[in-house]
């Protein structure tokens, strides 16, 4: 089914065509059949299935019918909010409605000016939206359309009380249209729908079992010492136009990025503690192609959309199986194909069983001989980090100081010994002679 078959406003159709949409994807068709009539919807759909265009098309069409209305879209992260705002500007560029994006980590003045100038579609994260409301800069009393995107993640991040707080300041559910989108419709999502939505129609696009049919997956078993050499070999073999590399910690995100630079690759890193202005700068460099490789923690596993991303590499296998799905979902967006390669080292290889169980499939194992491994120019160097500067390589040198009582390793061992003794004493006291 095509978008124009829904009898949409001609200027909205122009924006949809500018965005490269023609045929409706399943989530778009199923949502628009109900949402365009004003009915509330609860939609279970994975990221990358086109749900953003579904609710934005609904918002623009309903705003065109009644220009006095105002819409709000609540997103869990700054990156996702910025992405929604960008897509809204594309779809609505011929319609004349004003869109504003509001999130923390940046100054209030530009956002307050945007509100003062007038705004039709509000996109933002819960914290900043509540701050602006409490300071009486942004009111919720005119909201007639509410969208809660990635509700499951919103709840995981502890935003449930904030969402309830905002909804209570909006018109009652009978006087607004509400749309909720979530990868999984858990208890919290259904409770919110029951309390604050008006008899919503439930749409389930993706099956409960996660499918990743359009992503070619591979896994290499590798020792910690050879991970960087293997990563270099993979980048040489695959020669991707762009690649997103995930690590489990911010320290390793910075280290991997710096070591890739030492080996001649242009790359940047992104971590949660990075100032928002710098994060936006890094993401824009990646999207524009100025930086072909981005190393990131899970902060980029949701809400980050890079057009035609060639390759996702899990330098560290995630400890949470669902994080694996979200990570590799950065490629093969909107029905396209992509590739994901994982390095299973001795530290994180135990995550592989849970990941394969979640997907109900075995990831093909690839084997790399010595000829596949590339020489690592950063090997034997050590790096120190600060949040405001890049790493500085130093020559590795073994410590000649003897372990003393105050040495961290000695303290750790003493703590373990003390904890073990306490457990023994506890069980002896509880079970008496039966404990051995």
In tens, the pLDDT along 85-125 reads 999 999 999 999 999 999 988 889 999 999 999 999 999 99
Taking 3-state DSSP, the helix, strand and coil percentages for the chain, each rounded to the nearest 5, stand at 45, 20, 40
Residue 387 has pLDDT above 70, yes or no: no
pLDDT at 395: 39
228 CB-near residues (< 8 Å, 6+ apart):
256, 259, 376, 378, 379
* Number of CB atoms found within 10 A of residue 35's CB: 25
Residue 423 has pLDDT above 80, yes or no: no
pLDDT at 143: 95
The SS3 of residue 132 is: helix
| Of 127 and 184, the one with more pLDDT | 127
Identify the band that residue 226 occupies on the pLDDT scale cut at 50, 70 and 90.
very high
* Number of CB atoms found within 10 A of residue 389's CB: 8
| Of 417 and 118, the one with more pLDDT | 118
Q: Burial level of 115, CB count in 10 A (0-12/13-18/19+)? A: middle
Encode pLDDT of 38-66 as tens digits: 999 999 887 667 889 999 999 999 999 88
> Is the distance from CB of 75 to CB of 137 less than 8 angstroms?
no
pLDDT at 362: 93
The SS3 of residue 142 is: coil
Question: Which helix (H) or strand (E) covers residue 17, if one does?
Answer: helix 10-18
Residue 215 has pLDDT above 60, yes or no: yes
CA-based nearest residue to 25, from 56, 58, 48: 48
d(CA 16, CA 182): 23
| Of 73 and 212, the one with more pLDDT | 73
The SS3 of residue 390 is: strand
d(CA 425, CA 421): 6
Residue 312 has pLDDT above 90, yes or no: yes
How many CA atoms, within 13 angstroms, populate the side-chain half-sphere of residue 329?
24
Q: How far is CA 359 from the centre of its chain?
A: 19
Strand 389-395 versus strand 381-386 pairing type: antiparallel
d(CA 213, CA 206): 12
> Is the distance from CB of 313 to CB of 265 less than 8 angstroms?
no
Tokens representing 94 are: 């011929």
pLDDT at 132: 95
pLDDT at 410: 54
DSSP characters for 237-254? HH--SSEEEE-SSHHHHH
Mean local confidence (pLDDT), 133-139: 94
Tokens representing 99 are: 């869109």
Tokens representing 55 are: 């609710």
d(CA 312, CA 218): 11
Identify the band that residue 398 occupies on the pLDDT scale cut at 50, 70 and 90.
very low
Mean local confidence (pLDDT), 187-215: 78
127 CB-near residues (< 8 Å, 6+ apart):
103, 104, 162
> Is the distance from CB of 331 to CB of 311 less than 8 angstroms?
yes
Whether the full predicted model's pTM is greater than 0.75, yes or no, is: no
Tokens representing 238 are: 């695959």
How many CA atoms, within 13 angstroms, populate the side-chain half-sphere of residue 234?
29
Mean local confidence (pLDDT), 366-377: 90
DSSP characters for 294-363? EEE-GGGSSS---TT--EEEESS--SSHHHHHHHHTTSSGGG--EEEEEEE-TTTTTHHHHHHHHHTSPP
Tokens representing 317 are: 């296998």
Residue-wise burial string across 151-178, b where 16 or more C-beta atoms lie within 10 A, e elsewhere? bbbbbeeebbebbeebbeebeebeebbb
């Amino acid at each position: 089914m095509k978008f124009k078959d829904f009898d949409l406003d001609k200027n909205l159709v122009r924006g949809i065509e500018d965005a490269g949409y023609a045929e409706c994807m399943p989530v778009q068709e199923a949502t628009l059949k109900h949402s365009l009539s004003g009915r509330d919807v609860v939609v279970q759909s994975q990221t990358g299935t086109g749900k953003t265009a579904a609710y934005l098309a609904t918002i623009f069409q309903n705003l065109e019918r009644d220009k006095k209305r105002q819409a709000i879209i609540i997103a869990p992260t700054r990156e996702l909010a910025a992405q929604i705002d960008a897509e809204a500007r594309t779809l609505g560029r011929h319609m004349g409605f004003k869109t504003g994006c509001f999130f923390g980590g940046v100054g209030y003045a530009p956002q307050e000016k945007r509100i003062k100038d007038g705004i039709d579609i509000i996109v933002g994260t819960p914290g900043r939206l509540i701050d602006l409301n409490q300071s009486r800069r942004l009111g919720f009393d005119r909201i007639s359309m509410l969208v809660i995107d990635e509700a499951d993640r919103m709840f995981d991040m502890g935003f449930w009380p904030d969402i309830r707080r905002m909804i209570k300041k909006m018109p009652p559910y009978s006087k607004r249209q509400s749309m909720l989108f979530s990868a999984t419709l858990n208890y919290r999502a259904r409770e919110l729908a029951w309390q604050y939505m008006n008899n919503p129609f439930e749409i389930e696009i993706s099956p409960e079992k996660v499918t990743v049919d359009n992503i070619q997956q591979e896994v290499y078993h590798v020792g910690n010492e050879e991970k960087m050499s293997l990563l270099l070999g993979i980048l040489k073999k695959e020669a991707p136009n762009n690649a997103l590399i995930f690590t489990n910690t911010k320290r390793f995100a910075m280290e991997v990025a710096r070591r890739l630079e030492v080996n001649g690759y242009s790359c940047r890193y992104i971590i949660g503690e990075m100032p928002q202005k710098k994060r936006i700068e890094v993401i824009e460099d990646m999207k524009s192609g100025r930086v072909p490789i981005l190393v990131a923690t899970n902060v980029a596993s949701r809400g980050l959309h890079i057009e035609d991303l060639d390759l996702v590499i899990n330098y560290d296998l995630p400890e949470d199986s669902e994080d694996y799905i979200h990570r590799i979902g950065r490629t093969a967006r909107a029905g396209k194909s992509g590739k994901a390669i994982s390095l299973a080292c001795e530290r994180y290889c135990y995550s592989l069983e849970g990941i394969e169980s979640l997907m109900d499939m075995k990831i093909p194992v690839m084997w790399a001989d010595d000829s596949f491994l590339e020489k690592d120019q950063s090997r034997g160097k050590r790096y120190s980090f600060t949040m405001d500067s890049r790493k500085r390589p130093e020559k590795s040198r073994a410590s000649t100081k003897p372990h003393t009582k105050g040495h961290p390793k000695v303290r750790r061992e003493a703590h373990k010994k003390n904890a073990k003794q306490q457990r023994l004493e506890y069980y002896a006291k509880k079970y008496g002679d039966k404990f051995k």
